[in-house]
Amino acid sequence: MDFGTASQRLTRTDAAGPGRDGVLRTLRTGPFRFETGGSLPFLDVGYETWGRLDADASNAVLLHHALTGDTHVARGEGAEPGWWDGFVGPGRTIDTDRFFVVAANMVGGCYGTTGPSSPDPDGRPWGSRFPFTTVRDSVRAEARLADALGIDRWHTVLGGSLGGARALEWAAEYPDRVARCVVVAATAASSAEQIAFARIQTEAIRLDPDFAGGDYYAAGPGPVAGLGLARRLAHITYRSEPELDVRFGRSPQGSELPLGSATFDRGRYQVESYLDHQASKLVGRFDANSYLALTEALMSHDVGRGRGGVRSALGRLAGVRFMVAAVDSDRLYWPEQSERLARSLPGRTAVRYITSPIGHDGFLTDIGQLDAELRDGFLD
Amino acid sequence: MDFGTASQRLTRTDAAGPGRDGVLRTLRTGPFRFETGGSLPFLDVGYETWGRLDADASNAVLLHHALTGDTHVARGEGAEPGWWDGFVGPGRTIDTDRFFVVAANMVGGCYGTTGPSSPDPDGRPWGSRFPFTTVRDSVRAEARLADALGIDRWHTVLGGSLGGARALEWAAEYPDRVARCVVVAATAASSAEQIAFARIQTEAIRLDPDFAGGDYYAAGPGPVAGLGLARRLAHITYRSEPELDVRFGRSPQGSELPLGSATFDRGRYQVESYLDHQASKLVGRFDANSYLALTEALMSHDVGRGRGGVRSALGRLAGVRFMVAAVDSDRLYWPEQSERLARSLPGRTAVRYITSPIGHDGFLTDIGQLDAELRDGFLD
């Protein structure tokens, strides 16, 4: 099964030695016990690095991808651009001439780390047998990666959206191993609304007759219609109402006729075609079971779980320096939720705002707005 | 096929004489040509009335239901309460002691008016052969009903959400037949975002293997999973983020365990159970094809279509007195859209606000807040 560029990178990777920038490598762990009780005989943790770890291992930065992201944050040896290229690289905000940058794929993903599409010891995809996984599981797997890389304490952990949840969970799980934590467009715990939108998406995948209970790998391409539907909805929530209105309004797609007639099926509005395009891009590169697993990990996100609640969990992180940022037009991870997160942290942490009309995705497109704040003071 | 209470009312109705309050009756039209080209040999238009039409037919009020609403706006002879009981009835804002109140089911619906589940002349449900229908089709069908009832000009047409679109379309299609028009939580034309959310819902129904291309009536209950999924999403958009957060937060449903384990499927969060409940209520009372047809009618809503655009269409309605109202926390029919609608109308029309934390559904639960404005001046 091929989930696009990352899998291809994985193939290239197997031949790559350590320390090559932006090339996917894999760490194989021993037996891994999941937070909620499952276990696997081993995990492969897919990761990429950029730059060099300094002698006292004090310059390591961990970057966290969002729901369907991958480890290719920045350009490396190859030509393929990273998804945060303007933000991470030589001379960039996260300066790979200065920092040793690491990005790992989430547990349950399909970009190098073991997930439902990965083979079990007999070569059969785990499929429906893949354990329920949480953000905390990914953080614990990354801690093993940090051990293997010789990183005792991160200079900075940073992420947006589900990646922001992962950064925060890192600070809460290993406060002594995190000096700075940057949480962008994320919450301390997934809200009722985030859970609700997520549930529609998981349900759409399960409704697809090709889902086959999660064991679809031998039969064909799997539940691509359901995954596409999930992505369409997700993409609406990633964008703001005015963004969709200004870009598409009620325009028809090309010469299509969105009003049906007695003899023809109706054509599409531009906004429908746009969502179709988003869906088709995703289904070509992402595994539906991974989408399910990571979406349920998102739903499970609660930094206060098993730690006496959010305030208690965050209240004891006085040793970590935080930056909390939000996109002002975000209507999936509402700015008020970032404000609440900031208020729960020790000390006075003012929320930094990314100003963008487009909504949640501003954490990807406009992260550069945090450049000055990060360089002048926060990262030292 | 039985879609619940309305169908039962239809049965009772056949025996009911004219003029009985809150009892479903049916007007059968002649051949009906749809806006976009389809046609049917006849339409049944299901409707209810309350009160008495005065001698000069000057006291008739037409109320419009929303997407899955029905004609039973207010209590009548029977015990069944109406969905706007506090707003419509003797001595209420829409005072049935003073007004002759009419409510008709939309074309394509399943509450008395011909829709995809209605039998063709051979007794077979129209199913996939039902023509594409628009809000304008419903208005034109209602004009035939007005003719039959002897109503040349409505004292007031009023509706919320898709019902508000219908009220506005009435004024635009028959400006001489509408004295007053009240548009609550609606837009002049469905926006890109409304189209996008609607598309997810229609796609969910079509993804259900039991949809069978729309001709599912003989085979069983039809695409109830897809319809339920559509309703879950719709319901999220009907409510505000804070409403969901305050009511449900991250609480688990009863003793269910939302975090999965190695041996059990995961349980639900309360908010998931709540959405499941909304879905299960709807699928017991609504036809999936009607949901599709009316959702596509919603997508098609554009009062400016064929009239030189929204501003031109509304600009010539100086003879109609308008009230535009919005729910301040609405995030499906954003207040800004009501402001834009009001600015496009002749004269100065200030938007009235329903203050409610719950979101779009405030047009149902808190319509009473318009009581004083409607009674003191607007309705005379």
Q: What is the mean pLDDT of chain B?
A: 94
| Residue A10 reports pLDDT greater than 80 | no
Count of domains observed in chain A: 2
- What is the Cα Rg of chain A in Å? 21
Residue B253: which domain range? 195-295
What residue of A is the nearest CA neighbor of B246? A192
- In a domain? residue B300: no
| Residue A16 reports pLDDT greater than 80 | no
Contact B236, A197 (CB under 8 A): yes
Q: Do B334 and A241 touch (CB under 8 A)?
A: yes
Contact B61, B102 (CB under 8 A): yes
Kindly compute the dihedral angle of the four CA atoms of residues B272, B278, B284, B285, in this order, to the nearest 10 degrees.
-160
Kindly indicate the confidence band of residue B335, based on its pLDDT and cuts at 50, 70 and 90: very high
Report the CATH number at residue B280: 1.10.1740.110
Asked if B56 and B178 sit in the same domain, the reply is yes
Query: Which residue's entry shows tokens 């992180």?
Result: A317
pLDDT at A7: 37
More confident of the two residues B97 and B347: B97
- In a domain? residue B25: yes
Asked if A57 and A139 sit in the same domain, the reply is yes
Report the CATH number at residue A82: 3.40.50.1820
| Residue B13 reports pLDDT greater than 50 | no
SS3 assignment, position B196: helix
pLDDT at B19: 73
- Please list every residue in chain B whose beta carbon sits closer than 8 Å to the beta carbon of residue A248: 192
Q: Do B263 and A225 touch (CB under 8 A)?
A: no
Q: What is the mean pLDDT of chain A?
A: 94
Kindly indicate the confidence band of residue B15, based on its pLDDT and cuts at 50, 70 and 90: very low
CA dist A114 and A234 (Å) reads 24
| The last residue of a domain, from among A247, A263, A295 | A295
> Which residue type sits at A19?
G
| Residue B317 reports pLDDT greater than 60 | yes
Asked if B96 and B243 sit in the same domain, the reply is no
Residue ranges of E strands in chain A: 25-28, 32-33, 39-40, 44-50, 60-64, 88-89, 94-95, 100-104, 156-160, 180-184, 321-327, 352-354
Asked if A86 and A181 sit in the same domain, the reply is yes
Q: Tens digit of pLDDT for each residue in B262-314?
A: 655 799 999 999 999 999 999 999 999 999 999 999 999 999 999 999 999 99
Asked if A89 and A14 sit in the same domain, the reply is yes
pLDDT at B262: 60
CA dist A325 and A361 (Å) reads 13
Asked if B256 and B325 sit in the same domain, the reply is no
Q: Taking Cα atoms as reference points, which of A141, A66, A136, A71 lies closest to residue A102?
A: A71
- In a domain? residue B263: yes
Query: Which residue's entry shows tokens 């009581």?
Result: B371
Asked if A239 and A172 sit in the same domain, the reply is no
A34, A275, A334 ranked by CB distance to B196: nearest: A275
Query: Which residue's entry shows tokens 């080209």?
Result: B37
Q: Do A266 and B296 touch (CB under 8 A)?
A: yes
Q: What is the ipTM of this complex?
A: 0.93
Catalytic residues of B: 161, 330, 360
| Residue B146 reports pLDDT greater than 70 | yes
Asked if A113 and A234 sit in the same domain, the reply is no
What residue of A is the nearest CA neighbor of B229? A200
Phi and psi at B175, nearest 5°, equal: -60, -30
Asked if B179 and B210 sit in the same domain, the reply is no
Asked if B79 and B145 sit in the same domain, the reply is yes
| Residue A76 reports pLDDT greater than 70 | yes
Q: Tens digit of pLDDT for each residue in A149-206?
A: 999 999 999 999 999 999 999 999 999 999 999 999 999 999 999 999 999 999 999 9
Asked if B275 and B167 sit in the same domain, the reply is no
Asked if A272 and A317 sit in the same domain, the reply is no
pLDDT at A263: 57
Q: State the nearest Cα–Cα gap between B324 and chain A, in angstroms.
A: 21
A168-172, A254-258, B8-12, B291-295: the lowest-pLDDT one: B8-12
Question: Which of A35, A207, A231 should one mutate to test binding to chain B, selecting the residue with the greatest count of B CBs within 10 A?
Answer: A207
Write the DSSP assignment of B257-288 as a string of letters: -SS--SSS----BHHHHHHHHHHHHHHTT--H
> Which B residues in the span 93-132 are in contact with A, Cβ-Cβ below 8 Å?
131-132
Q: Tens digit of pLDDT for each residue in A284-316?
A: 999 999 999 999 999 999 999 999 999 999 999
Per-residue H/E/C for B241-265? HHHHHHHHCCCECCCCCCCCCCCCC
pLDDT at A19: 73
| Residue B242 reports pLDDT greater than 50 | yes
Residue B294 touches partner A, C-beta closer than 8 Å: no
A132, A204, A250 ranked by CB distance to B260: nearest: A132
| Residue A216 reports pLDDT greater than 90 | yes
